[in-house]
Structure 1
């Protein structure tokens, strides 16, 4: 996840404030995910229990903020730019939006299940649910990167014209 993020930041960073902000939000989400999942460099060799409820709630808040920024700010902007700048771009945006929405459903389910209450039943499903969410986020980031690339290309074309 980090490698892909670094590539995205190098490729598109500094060109549009909206993209920079969105990639920064993605970075915060990835860091929080890695901390929650106890992935390197945040792995805790002696960790035998679930993360603290406050850690899970903090992650869920970042997740919801990220999803909201995407759906209500970035996707709308990208789709409108694609509509203005070409049929192919609009087709791509229209094809990716349902795939991104499917990942939103998984993220919302995770949030609904874990954001509010610490529960002993978490033990059975938390690691599996977090792992599934991580896989879904990786796919989502790939789809989002395609949209960012389209926005970046259209913005670059408009600036150089």
Structure 2
């Protein structure tokens, strides 16, 4: 996931401030995901669950990222797709519902874990985190497809 965001930043960085900020937030989200999942270089020796503060930080940046996408970036992309033609508009109309599916998964994760504390048992956390990771991976691919279509194929 980090390699994907680095490629996205290289490819589209500097083209639009909102997208730059959003990709930076995506990178932060991925780093926090890797930390709570215990991926290298953040692996834990004792196989314990992450600290509640780490889970809460992840949930916060997740909600920030989703909000920026839905209320800033997607609006800009949708407007640009309308201007660029029917093909771009059709692609956006096909991709947005699939992105919404990943939003539902993220909102469910947030509802379940955003207010977690040290006493919570977190039954099913590993599975929920895995599902969240798969949803993020799918979401990033869809978002990148939209951005790539807009900037590569239809740039002014």
Give me the TM-score of the superposition, normalised by structure 2: 0.94
Look up the match of 2:38.
38
Q: How many residues align?
A: 155
Q: CA deviation at 1:33?
A: 0.4
**Alpha-carbon distance in 2 for matches of 1:151, 1:55:** 35
> How far does residue 54 in structure 1 lie from its aligned partner after superposition?
1.1
> Aligned with 2:45: secondary structure?
coil
Q: Does 1:50 align with 2:71?
A: no
In structure 2, distance between residues paired with 1:131 and 1:97: 23
Runs of 4+ in 1 over 2 A off after TM superposition: 117-121
Alignment partner, residue 17 of structure 1: 17
Using the alignment, how far apart are the partners of 2:138 and 2:72 within structure 1?
A: 20
Q: Report the equivalent of 2:155.
A: 157
Cα offset for 1:78? 0.3
Ranges in structure 2 where 5+ consecutive residues have no aligned partner: none
| 1:97-126 Cα distance to aligned partner (Å, 9 max, x none) | 00000000000000000001335341x300
C-alpha displacement of 1:60: 0.2
What is the RMSD of the two structures over their aligned residues, measured on CA atoms? 1.4
Distance 1:77 1:150 in 2: 13
Q: How far did 1:3 drift?
A: 1.2
1:96 Cα deviation after fit = 0.2
1:49 alignment partner, SS class? coil
Gaps of 5+ in 1: none
Distance across 1 between alignment mates of 2:155 and 2:49: 49
Indicate yes or no: 2:125 matched with 1:88. no
- The residue that corresponds to 2:106 in the other structure is 107
Pairing of 1:60-99 with structure 2 (within 5 A): 60-99=59-98
